[in-house]
Amino acid sequence: MGLPILNILILFLLLTFSYNVSSDSTKESYALLNWKTSLQNQNPNSSLLSSWTLYPANATKISPCTWFGIFCNLVGRVISISLSSLGLNGTFQDFSFSSFPHLMYLNLSCNVLYGNIPPQISNLSKLRALDLGNNQLSGVIPQEIGHLTCLRMLYFDVNHLHGSIPLEIGKLSLINVLTLCHNNFSGRIPPSLGNLSNLAYLYLNNNSLFGSIPNVMGNLNSLSILDLSQNQLRGSIPFSLANLSNLGILYLYKNSLFGFIPSVIGNLKSLFELDLSENQLFGSIPLSFSNLSSLTLMSLFNNSLSGSIPPTQGNLEALSELGLYINQLDGVIPPSIGNLSSLRTLYLYDNGFYGLVPNEIGYLKSLSKLELCRNHLSGVIPHSIGNLTKLVLVNMCENHLFGLIPKSFRNLTSLERLRFNQNNLFGKVYEAFGDHPNLTFLDLSQNNLYGEISFNWRNFPKLGTFNASMNNIYGSIPPEIGDSSKLQVLDLSSNHIVEFGSLTELQYLDLSANKLSSSIPKSMGNLSKLHYLNLSNNQFNHKIPTEFEKLIHLSELDLSHNFLQGEIPPQICNMESLEELNLSHNNLFDLIPGCFEEMRSLSRIDIAYNELQGPIPNSTAFKDGLMEGNKGLCGNFKALPSCDAFMSHEQTSRKKWVVIVFPILGMVVLLIGLFGFFLFFGQRKRDSQEKRRTFFGPKATDDFGDPFGFSSVLNFNGKFLYEEIIKAIDDFGEKYCIGKGRQGSVYKAELPSGIIFAVKKFNSQLLFDEMADQDEFLNEVLALTEIRHRNIIKFHGFCSNAQHSFIVSEYLDRGSLTTILKDDAAAKEFGWNQRMNVIKGVANALSYLHHDCLPPIVHGDISSKNVLLDSEHEAHVSDFGIAKFLNPHSSNWTAFAGTFGYAAPEIAHMMRATEKYDVHSFGVLALEVIKGNHPRDYVSTNFSSFSNMITEINQNLDHRLPTPSRDVMDKLMSIMEVAILCLVESPEARPTMKKVCNLLCK
């Protein structure tokens, strides 16, 4: 009896339970269908929701368990909704959260959901994972999320949520993963996060959080990933993070954190990725970091860290990426860095590292990227780098490296990018390179490389950019370079290129400041892919080729500073893409083509300093352009005269003959003047033999135009000043003599007015008997009248007659460098900064003589006895007795005398005057100033000795002065490196004095 009753009870319960399950399942189905109906603009992927229907073909009851993206438990209740990446477009307004009490997983990421997250989301009380990332949700995170105490994973990444993180989030005490990244959250990080003791992953990155990092973050003992990057957090890094013993990843980059890096971070033994980059951290790298033996990534770049790299950094043998660039680190790169056998990227650029690149860097066999640019590294590039066969990028630009590029670079066949620009490297440009099948970018600019470009270009099949500008490369561009199908950028400006061929694939070509002459090749029109062409500062003449019209993609054309003649060809107007055109400083004449008015893309034009005439085209480019130096232009803007005032076109054409005839007449007059000049000096020699006194003076156009030969600013006439000087030194009495040399003696003349002069008297008894001595005197007079520079002795006047021949110049208190360096007391007063200024002053003077005088002047006798110092220890180059003017149209064959110990080695076999002679002498002088005596052991020696000199700089300083500071030591080392470059045996490999000045100013 009891048994049937029990069976009936069980049956009743089952029927009741079955009814409730069926009823609840139907409720879930209707809730899903109602939300589906509210969605709009669904993409093709959303057709997967077609299975969501009340009428499946074989359905006996309404259940969503067979619908796409819906998963149920054993009794048919929905426990998971996964609809990621379907393009669902809509809101949560019609989503009935209360209909899914058993839901554990909700994934609606990567859709187009927008609007707020409703507070009703708290009804999902059993939810363990919520992913709403990559949508367009907005508003604040509802506080009710804090009621989801079963939540283990929470993703709100890549939305447009804003507002602060609610304090209630701290109620999610069982949460395991909290991801709120890639939103627009603002406000502070709530301290209540410290209550989430089970949290393993915390992502708050890519928001707008501000304030400091709460100390309570140290309570998250289970945390293995902490990502607070890309916010606006300030303050210091809390020491409490040292409690996160399980932390494997710490990302705090791209914030505004400041202060020291806590050394306690070195206690996080599980840490394998550390990124504190792009903050405002300062101080040194903690020594405790050497304890992070599992670390694979260390990024501390773009802060204000200082000090040196700890030698113990070599203990991090698991490290694969080290980024310390853009800081204020200094010191040497420690040799222990060679222990980082797993290192793949080493970025140390934009710091203050000095000294040598350690040879141990060759042990990093896994290294693929090496960036050491913009430091103060010196010495030679280590040969061991050739062992790093996995290297794809090498960047050592803007340092003080010198010497040869190691031939071991031929081993680096994986190289893709190589930059050595702005160093002091020398040698032949091609010697270090072999077969580089992957090289796409090569920059060797601003060095002292020389020789011809004789690469086997077939070894560079992928080379797209080649920059070797500002070197001493000469000769022709090899024709096979035109066979390269990849080369798009070629910059060989500021070299000595004399010829180039077809380069049909180029998009960028810069051959400015070379020695290209004759006509611009018509084949230039074949470079149809060019976007940029610069042929300025050469010696091109004849006409602009009409073939330029084929360059329809060219946006910038620079032909300035040449000798181009004729008219501007109207075919230029066919260059539809041209934006900038520079034709200045040529000999172009005739009318400007009116078709320029149709060039809509032209925005800038420079036609200054030509012989153009006629009306200016009505174009914005001309209205804003540079046109000075043309006397025949007219128009209604830029204060030009009206074109009505000008002659007709026929008259303009006749005027061409005047333009041609007048220069010819001028040349005739010049020749007559030169002939008279030689007759004049011949008469002078004859008159001098008759002992008739004659004075010569500076050019009448100068400030020193006194006809008696002396400076008018001294308020003396020439004859009176001559008598005053002779009287002041008692007719060249011995007691007034302050120095003697090969050419004569120097006297100190103090006039009654208090003015003091230095008087250099030539050996008069030889002057008219020996033509060489007469030439030396005339050379010095001519040189001194032509030059004006703060670091060159100031010339006041001269006299030449049968009795005396002398030069009058300013008197400098301290005398010559030789005198000062030989006197211990004077040398001790001559400090390091003053010595460096003297070296720079001499360099500036020589750069002026070589590059700013026309024609250039070679001093020919730079030595410590010919550098005088004033009371402020300012340098003044003197004694121009053997100065030579470099006529570009002359071979300049002449014998040099110079001073033993300063003369360049080519004096033994080469008589031609070149500026590289002075460069060598300057190198000797610079070392002499630093050492305190003549560097005889290092002149005409080998390269290895030079390297030893740099590495042993302390042994090569003047020990009469105190040991220099680190900053001064760096500068002295740089000067010595530049000086050594000036002493190389090959004149072509020596830098120009302009380059020397640039290097000394780094």
Residue 991's domain comprises 815-1000
Domain end position, chosen among 783, 810, 837:
810
Is the residue at 524 inside a domain?
no
Q: Give me the helix-helix angle, 832-847 and 966-982, nearest 10°.
A: 30
In this prediction, residue 704 carries a pLDDT of 33
What are 226-271's pLDDT values in tens digits? 999 998 999 999 999 999 999 999 999 999 999 999 999 999 999 9
Is the residue at 953 inside a domain?
yes
What are 890-947's pLDDT values in tens digits? 444 445 556 778 888 877 666 566 888 899 999 999 999 999 988 876 665 555 455 5
- Residue 352 identity (one-letter amino acid): G
Is the residue at 680 inside a domain?
yes
Distances (CA, A) of 164 to 135, 143, 190, 208: 18, 10, 9, 9
Distance, in Å, from the CA atom of 616 to the CA atom of 809, rounded to the nearest integer, reads 51
- Residue 319 identity (one-letter amino acid): L
Is the residue at 941 inside a domain?
yes
Same domain membership, residue 68 and residue 192: yes
The CATH number for 767's domain is 3.30.200.20
In this prediction, residue 5 carries a pLDDT of 47
DSSP label at residue 37: H
Same domain membership, residue 973 and residue 862: yes
- The radius of gyration of the chain from alpha carbons, rounded to an integer in Å, stands at 41
Distance, in Å, from the CA atom of 996 to the CA atom of 879, rounded to the nearest integer, reads 22
Tokens linked to 495:
């070299």
Cα of 974 vs its chain's centroid, Å: 18
Active site residues: 861
- Residue 632 identity (one-letter amino acid): G
CA angle at 991 for the pair 988 and 997, rounded to the nearest 5°: 160
Domain end position, chosen among 692, 720, 746:
692
Model confidence band, residue 967 (pLDDT cutoffs 50, 70, 90): confident
DSSP label at residue 954: G
Distance, in Å, from the CA atom of 405 to the CA atom of 447, rounded to the nearest integer, reads 11
Same domain membership, residue 773 and residue 826: no
Same domain membership, residue 727 and residue 667: no
Q: Taking the C-alpha atoms of 365, 370, 375 and 377 in order, what is their torsion angle to the nearest 10 degrees?
A: 30
Is the residue at 995 inside a domain?
yes
Residue 408 contacts residue 430 (beta carbons within 8 Å): no
| 781-784 contacts, C-beta under 8 A, 24 or more apart | 781/696, 781/807, 782/885, 783/857, 783/880, 783/883, 783/885, 784/809, 784/880
In this prediction, residue 457 carries a pLDDT of 78
Same domain membership, residue 901 and residue 803: no
Is the residue at 213 inside a domain?
yes
- Report helix, strand or coil for 179: strand
In this prediction, residue 798 carries a pLDDT of 74
Is the residue at 400 inside a domain?
no
Same domain membership, residue 944 and residue 864: yes
The counts of H helices and E strands in the chain are 13, 58
DSSP label at residue 130: E
Domain end position, chosen among 778, 810, 842:
810
Say whether pTM exceeds 0.95: no
Distance, in Å, from the CA atom of 351 to the CA atom of 298, rounded to the nearest integer, reads 17
Distance, in Å, from the CA atom of 386 to the CA atom of 389, rounded to the nearest integer, reads 7
Pick the closest to residue 361 from 380, 334, 326 (CA basis): 334
Same domain membership, residue 861 and residue 971: yes
Q: Which residues, in sequence order, are CB contacts of 75 under 8 Å at separation 6+? A: 21
Same domain membership, residue 859 and residue 729: no
Does the pLDDT at position 764 exceed 90? no
What are 368-395's pLDDT values in tens digits? 999 999 999 988 999 999 999 999 999 9
The CATH number for 835's domain is 1.10.510.10
What are 501-556's pLDDT values in tens digits? 677 788 999 999 988 888 998 888 888 899 999 999 999 999 999 999 999 999 99
Same domain membership, residue 185 and residue 133: yes
Distances (CA, A) of 831 to 554, 664, 957, 961: 55, 57, 12, 7
Same domain membership, residue 829 and residue 705: no
Distance, in Å, from the CA atom of 848 to the CA atom of 845, rounded to the nearest integer, reads 5
Tokens linked to 458:
């077939």
Q: Give me the helix-helix angle, 832-847 and 993-1000, nearest 10°.
A: 150
DSSP label at residue 848: I
Is the residue at 200 inside a domain?
yes
Which ranges in 482-545 belong to alpha helices (H)? none
What are 95-153's pLDDT values in tens digits? 999 999 999 888 888 888 888 878 888 788 787 777 777 777 776 666 655 555 555 55
Same domain membership, residue 59 and residue 40: yes
Domain count, the chain: 4
Q: What is the average pLDDT value for the chain, to the nearest integer? A: 80
Same domain membership, residue 141 and residue 33: yes
In this prediction, residue 715 carries a pLDDT of 40
Model confidence band, residue 327 (pLDDT cutoffs 50, 70, 90): very high
The CATH number for 69's domain is 3.80.10.10
Find residue 931's DSSP bridge partners. Answer: none
Q: Taking the C-alpha atoms of 784, 789, 793 and 795 in order, what is their torsion angle to the nearest 10 degrees?
A: 40
